[in-house]
Each structure stands twice: as structure tokens, then as C-alpha cells.
Structure 1
Amino acid sequence: MSRRCDLLDTGPMSGNTVSHSKIHTRRRFEVNLCNVTLLSDSLGQKFKVRIAAKTLRTVDTKGGLDAFLLGTKNHKLTEKAKRIKKAVLKSRAEIEAA
């Protein structure tokens, strides 16, 4: 399983470890992934996702999974997140039409 965020596709970065003697050695900075269950208010469903801690803080700040997905552009989201966003939009359209 690759170490990537399920919502924003955030992956590992590369850089250097710099020792006291200034020797540069290549290394990977892994993403801090968390296994969480997020609730969609519009759909009434829970989604198990593996997301970065930074993304989880953003979801909390935006006010939940639905608000996060609706406020994020499609080119930043993964395919899984796009499917959830499409279902949320459809659910909201049905609620407004009724």
C-alpha cells in the first residue's frame, strides 16, 4: 500500500538529512497518515479513509467532510474523493428540489 492521502493524494517528499559536519544524505519525508472514519452529513454515511494529519485538521477547520469536499477544487482531489463529492452534490440537489 502506498503512503498517500485518500483525499488530496499527498505523498512523500524528498530532501536531505544534514549532519553536524554538513554532509548531505538523501532521504524521504513520509506523510503522517491517520486511519479515520469521517461522517457525511448530506449522505448520512461513514467513510473509512486514510488521510494525512494536515488534511484532517483542514477537514475539521472547514466544518466536516461535506464542506471540505465542496470547497476544494476537483483537480486537487483523488478519484475516491471526487466520487464522494459527486454523491454529496447530488444529495444536496435532491434536498433543494424537494
Structure 2
Amino acid sequence: MKEQDVSRRKFLKAGAAGLVAVPVAGLGWTTTAAAGGHGDRLDESDPAAQALQYVHNTANPAQNCANCLLYNDPSQTEWGPCAVFPGKLVSANGWCTAWVARG
């Protein structure tokens, strides 16, 4: 066998392992946030929060994070994960401009 063939085989094996590792690593991050109580609470002064006008306590109780489609775990009654702010927990009583009614 040529030296190039061996190197290419090693490269392809490493690439395949890397492709498998990325989604597996992502599962760990999302399950940690979805577990509730784990992860950092979103701060209203966070640039992403400010861009979407996020507040911890909404003025309109009919529209809050707990009844938003993007709130990933509706069983979390105080702080929970949100698809808009990955790795952060939002207040169930919060609101932002990305709010979508849960169907």
C-alpha cells in the first residue's frame, strides 16, 4: 500500500468519527438545558434578550413564556428552556417579541 492510501484512510476514519461526535455533543447540551434548573438564567441586559425585548415579567398575562410554543418544557413553572435562547433559562412569566401561541 502507498503511504497516501494509509493517510487518506486515517483521515476518513477521523472525519467519520467527528461527524458522529457533533450531534452526540449537541444532545448533551440540549438535555442539560431541558432538565430545568440547570443552565444560566437569561439576563434582561443580555444583547440577545435586548434585541428581542425580553422581560422577566410580562405586562400581558395572556402572552408569556409558559404559553409560548418556543418554551421547550411547559412543565417548568418558574424557569425553563427556550428555543430562542439556547443554553439559557427564561422566566415562565417572561415575554419577548418571538412569542408564538402554543397550539
State the TM-score, normalizing by the size of structure 1. 0.22
| Rg larger in structure | 2
Higher strand residue share: 1
State the TM-score, normalizing by the size of structure 2. 0.21
